[in-house]
Amino acid sequence: MWKVWRLALIGAWSRAKAHKAVSLYEDNNPASATEVVKDRRGLRSKVVFAAITARETLPEDAAREETSRVAKRELGDASIGLRALELIATIAPLLGLLGTVMGMIAAFQTLQESGSRADPSLLAGGIWEALLTTAAGMAVAIPAAAALTWFEAVIDNMRRDVEDSAMRIFVTRQPAAVDMEAPLAAE
């Protein structure tokens, strides 16, 4: 639940403002585009704002590097908590297996202590323990693995949107300030 809330805070499912800003930028209106995404908390909006600002104020190579830096930082922040979920999905079945082994050991100890008077009801406790821990491990691991896969898909979707938006900003037009610097550098 915490991760869903965090993704909602960074706008994982809202892309309208960032797309509007990119469209405005493509329509040669960088001031309006910047205003649409300025001070927004969404990941896409932050990267679009950084890309437009960098594109308008820095040479192209530096602008691309700055956009890449911001995108990597924001996407990295979006991935916080996924390693812990991956660890839970990996370790839960192992803990269940450990319980299975411990339960089977208990069952066999009971069988050994009973000698030739083996009573199936004496074995039931150890077998029950073994099956219960296996089920518990799987009950934890399966939802954790499903949630991890879903969260990774959401973040991959945001990554694709960010890459697309940044690419659209950089291929749209050459800012006037950068156009003037190129001929001066050649002289």
Q: What is the DSSP string of 68-103?
A: HHHHHHHHHHHTTTHHHHHHHHHHHHHHHHHHHHHH
Structure tokens at 144: 């954790």
Q: List, for the chain, all residue ranges whose pLDDT scores fall below the cut of 70.
A: 118, 122, 125, 173-187
30 within 8 A of 49, measured Cβ to Cβ = no
Tokens standing for 96?
Answer: 């269940």
The whole-number pLDDT of residue 182 equals 47
Distance CA(74)–CA(42), nearest Å, equals: 9
CB-CB contact of 103 with 130 (8 Å)? yes
Using only the alpha carbons of the chain, give its radius of gyration. Answer: 28
The pLDDT value recorded for residue 52 is 93
Amino acid at site 83 = R
Q: Are 30 and 52 in contact (CB under 8 A)?
A: yes
